[in-house]
């Protein structure tokens, strides 16, 4: 394993521990990556502000893949911004309302939007969507560029959401289980893998020079665009099948442990 130029990692369940915390060792390792001219790239289903808040002053040096690939930035310059067509949003929201236990979030460039008045849920999503706002009716649209519709179900997304919402693939949309409780609906070909390819081509970095980490199905395309692909020990079985290697669990900060081993 030589000549790595980019390390890209999912956030929740991968880079962050179960308390959504970064390892205290991160800055020391980051400074060594910077010294070696290796770009560190967080890639998440979170909104951009929900990722960048973790990185403070070094945000301006980094690249970010947000919204499951719908929004890509490098050193504060936008490389790619997607937008979901409003004509799909109303029908999808109406369908979600009919699913017992399901709650929808419209994830936009300015803010995230929801209809629920459940304060517990609002507090929960504020970890990922830091700038958010309640609307009475999401089918009416908002003055914002919407990247995706994120759907939450406390009893599991794979079992309770995907069997119903996969029907929207008929409109050439991506419907992907993005976590144990979350499912995302986006434009076709919007995924972390294509976003990573945009970043690689912009910076002249090849898949052979890329290391990637993930834990859930929305990470699979990203892992396929990196020669050195790692599934976390806590990853979904389909992610382990797609990756070339395995890293320790996120609660053992397996991403940083693997990077440390490489740097040494």
Residue 32 lies in a domain: yes
Residue 113 lies in a domain: yes
Q: What is the pLDDT of residue 241?
A: 97
Indicate the pTM of the whole model: 0.86
Q: Are residues 129 and 219 in the same domain?
A: no
Q: Are residues 67 and 114 in the same domain?
A: no
Confidence of residue 1 (pLDDT cuts 50, 70, 90): low
CATH number for the domain harbouring residue 217? 3.40.50.1000
Which ranges of the chain would DSSP assign to H, the alpha helix? Answer: 26-35, 48-52, 86-97, 119-125, 157-160, 162-165, 192-203, 220-224, 237-242, 254-263
Asked whether 25 and 256 are in contact (CB, 8 A), the reply is yes
Q: Are residues 58 and 112 in the same domain?
A: no
pLDDT tens-digit readout, 239-257? 999 999 999 999 999 999 9
Q: Are residues 140 and 65 in the same domain?
A: no
Tell me the C-alpha distance between 53 and 184, whole Å: 22
Residue 127 lies in a domain: yes
Helix (H, G, I), strand (E, B) or coil at 247: strand
CATH number for the domain harbouring residue 110? 3.30.1240.10
Residue 1 lies in a domain: no
Q: Which of 136, 167, 187 is the C-terminal boundary of a domain?
A: 187
Q: Which domain holds residue 17?
A: 6-80+190-263
Asked whether 178 and 68 are in contact (CB, 8 A), the reply is yes
Q: Which of 130, 161, 187 is the C-terminal boundary of a domain?
A: 187
Number of domains in the chain: 2
Q: Are residues 10 and 67 in the same domain?
A: yes
Q: Which of 160, 187, 214 is the C-terminal boundary of a domain?
A: 187
Q: Are residues 75 and 200 in the same domain?
A: yes
Instruction: Pick the closest to residue 85 from 171, 163, 167 (CA basis).
Output: 171
pLDDT at 2 over 80: no
């Amino acid at each position: 394993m030589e000549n790595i130029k980019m390390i890209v990692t999912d956030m929740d369940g991968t880079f962050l521990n179960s308390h959504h915390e970064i390892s205290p060792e991160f800055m020391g390792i980051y400074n060594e990556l910077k010294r070696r001219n290796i770009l560190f790239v967080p890639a998440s289903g979170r909104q951009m502000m929900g990722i960048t808040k973790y990185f403070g002053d070094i945000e301006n040096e980094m690249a970010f893949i947000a919204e499951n690939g719908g929004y890509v930035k490098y050193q504060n310059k936008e490389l790619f911004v997607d937008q979901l067509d409003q004509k799909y949003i109303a029908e999808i929201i109406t369908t979600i309302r009919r699913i017992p236990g399901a709650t929808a979030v419209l994830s936009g460039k300015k803010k995230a939007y929801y209809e629920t008045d459940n304060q517990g849920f609002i507090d929960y999503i504020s970890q990922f969507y830091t700038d958010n706002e309640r609307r009475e009716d999401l089918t009416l649209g908002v003055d914002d560029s919407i990247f995706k519709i994120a759907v939450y179900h406390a009893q599991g997304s794979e079992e309770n959401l995907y069997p119903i919402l996969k029907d929207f693939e008929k409109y050439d949309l991506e419907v992907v289980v993005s976590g144990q409780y979350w499912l995302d609906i986006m434009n076709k070909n919007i995924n972390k893998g294509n976003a990573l390819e945009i970043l690689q081509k912009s910076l002249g970095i090849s898949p052979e020079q890329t290391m990637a980490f993930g834990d859930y199905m929305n990470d699979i395309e990203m892992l396929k665009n990196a020669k050195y692909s790692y599934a976390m020990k806590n990853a979904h079985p389909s992610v382990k099948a797609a990756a070339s290697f395995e890293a320790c669990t996120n609660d053992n900060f397996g991403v940083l442990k693997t990077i440390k081993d490489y740097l040494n």
